[in-house]
Amino acid sequence: MEARRQFPSLYVGSDLEVLSDIQHNGGATCLIDFSKNILTSLWFACQDDFDKTGFLYILDVQEEFKKGTLIEIKHDDARPIDVLLSELGNKDSNEKMSRFYLWYPKAINNRIVRQDSVFIFGLQTMVADDHAIKVIPIHKNAKRKIRDALERYFNISELTIYNDPIGFAMANAKLKPIRKIQKIDN
């Protein structure tokens, strides 16, 4: 509501559209952001903290549908977020609710399109051990090499992942080293 109040011309869509735009610009939301593209996900797993292990999380959506723990909602679902969450159940009840919504957003911004975004949200914390999620560790020593290969061979970099004016400015920030365009050898 506060985002709509402060930026009424920008945030005219559904609650989910507003939250997804805020999420893609670095804000905290109730949405878990996944990508349908494994290479994009790999880039995010290697994006920073080069002194720490990264993790690639792969959710088996079909398995979650079979178990009844994932409910797909349409891209144009305009129900308010509080209504959607209330339909999942009462988080304070004795019954443990571990159902989540899966939402494929409309192309409301360049980042959602470029990152092949899909969002998951619910009332509980999604714990990998309780769901059909594979976790692949990415060793800290491999992260820079993977990032370089993704940029060189697949055109996946900070410039292309954050494909908008704010992302361009971030990728070319004053304290970052000058980036040289890499040529692919034949």
Is 182 within a domain?
no
Top-confidence residue, 173 or 13: 13
Is 100 within a domain?
yes
Is 185 within a domain?
no
Round to whole Å and give the CA distance between 121 and 70. Answer: 10
Is 176 within a domain?
no
Query: 102-150: per-residue pLDDT in tens?
Result: 999 998 888 899 999 999 999 988 888 889 999 999 999 999 999 999 9
pLDDT at 172: 77
DSSP 60: -
Is 183 within a domain?
no
Q: Which domain does 64 fall in, by range?
A: 2-171
Total domain count, the chain: 1
Is 180 within a domain?
no
Residue 185 confidence class, pLDDT cut points 50, 70, 90: low
Residue 46: pLDDT above 90?
yes
- Tell if the pTM clears 0.75, that is, is over it: yes
Residue 94 confidence class, pLDDT cut points 50, 70, 90: very low
pLDDT at 43: 96
Is 181 within a domain?
no
Alpha helices (runs of H) in 71-173, residue ranges in sequence order: 81-88, 110-114, 140-154, 158-161, 165-171
Is 134 within a domain?
yes
Cα torsion 125, 87, 70, 77: sign: negative
